[in-house]
Structure 1
Amino acid sequence: MANDLTIYHGSQQLVETPQFGVGKPYNDYGQGFYCTESPELAKEWACPVKNDGYCNCYELHLDDLQMMRLTHGEFNILSWLAILLTHRRFDISSPVAQGARDYILSHFLPDTSGVDVMIGYRADDSYFSFAEDFVSNTISLRDLNMSMQLGTLGEQIVLLSKRSFGHIEFTGYEVADYREYYYKRFERDQKARADYARRKKTLQQLTEDIFILDIIREGMDNDDPRLRLQLSL
């Protein structure tokens, strides 16, 4: 149907009936059911260890569901980062990182009340390290935004509300062979790291580059045109 979305969940288990309230609360967007529109990515996520996994397939019926897409419209990379800071465990031991966390949460955290389904970047190890570098004032906003395109780690679709679990229908599965997908997962993350390392070595700071300390000192918020310019470079 036109308002249905085919999504995939990679797991070491066959998941015919996803359960609300199951999962780790410190995942990227909190407790929820994490999926992707890419069966290849789901097969990689299904093989974090050297065991075969399952690429579970579903139809998500979107009618009457409230969706938030963090990579489009009024939201930007700082909206994604604020949600990540809410749930994930960052290295924020330095005063700069502590101040950055507090400012990002107070100025860029979207209102997620009533959201049934969240769509945004997946913070695999490499992406998570990029976010930590920005919070620590090591890289600029422009570099963070561009770094999120490295390694093609893709977006994830997360069912958050109890209501959303009533809109998902299991349609089948494929076995993910770890002999292929365990190594593909590793190679994708390593590619993102390698691309990032090469980029850091050749960074040419632009005069208009903005770092988190600049954002704090200038009191910038989500509607600031300077941030929009950075994110469009």
Structure 2
Amino acid sequence: MALLTVYHGGYQAVDKPKIRASKNTKDFGTGFYCTIIKEQAQRWARRYNTKIVSIYDVKIFSELTIMEFKEMTEEWLDFIVACRSGQPHDYDIVIGAMADDQIYNYVSDYIDGTITREQFWVLAKFKYPTYQIVFCTDEALKCLNYRGFEEVR
């Protein structure tokens, strides 16, 4: 994979990313979440009083195990359901569409049996593109080269 730029939205600059276990389960499990879409990172940062987008150059090492979902598929949905249910996986990096708040409500409804899988897919249309790349292991974090940060206004 070629060199690319990724962004992480939060409340402070993160010059040394770490993987922190969270009490909340996330789409692709525990990891350091970034995106190639700057506006998406800015939306993430806007949740906080201090709004910071950290910027990184990434060169992904060939020996890492990567799961990439090029689009929302049955496999993508099953993977998110498993991760959001607390099941671990063995990937160093996971890449794919994000189940934003609205989509996650549909995932929850599907998990709870309120809607069928077919109903999920009818409802799961994004209003804007999303993309996340999650660095799930310490080895994966070595792919990141901190470039600086920007404040979101």
Partner of 2:134: 158
Partner of 1:176: 152
Give the letter for the 1:80 counterpart: I
Q: Which runs of 5+ in 1 are unaligned?
A: 88-110, 178-233
Q: TM-score, normalised by structure 2?
A: 0.83
Separation (CA, whole Å) in 2 of partners of 1:7 and 1:125: 21
1:56 aligns with 2:54: yes
Corresponding pairs, count: 150
Separation (CA, whole Å) in 2 of partners of 1:71 and 1:162: 24
Contact map agreement 1:7 1:38 (CA 8 A) in 2: yes
Give the letter for the 1:26 counterpart: N
1:67 aligns with 2:66: yes
| CA distance 1:71–1:139, change in 2 (3 Å) | farther
1:59, distance to aligned residue in structure 2 (A): 1.3
Larger relative contact order (Cα-Cα within 8 Å, sequence gap ≥ 6):
2
Separation (CA, whole Å) in 1 of partners of 2:129 and 2:114: 22
Partner of 2:22: 24
Partner of 1:43: 42
Q: Indicate the RMSD between aligned Cα atoms, in angstroms.
A: 2.4
Contact map agreement 1:4 1:59 (CA 8 A) in 2: yes
1:112 aligns with 2:89: yes
Contact map agreement 1:80 1:121 (CA 8 A) in 2: no
Structure with a larger share of its residues in strand: 2
Contact map agreement 2:25 2:86 (CA 8 A) in 1: no
Partner of 2:80: 80
1:153, distance to aligned residue in structure 2 (A): 5.8
What's the CA shift string for 1:124-180, capped at 9, x where partnerless?
332221112112333221231243323336121110011011111011222111xxx
Contact map agreement 1:57 1:172 (CA 8 A) in 2: yes
| CA distance 1:23–1:152, change in 2 (3 Å) | farther
Structure with a larger share of its residues in helix: 1
| CA distance 1:31–1:78, change in 2 (3 Å) | closer
Separation (CA, whole Å) in 1 of partners of 2:145 and 2:122: 35
Q: TM-score, normalised by structure 1?
A: 0.57
Contact map agreement 2:25 2:85 (CA 8 A) in 1: no
Q: Percent identical across equivalent pairs?
A: 25
SS of equivalent to 1:127: helix
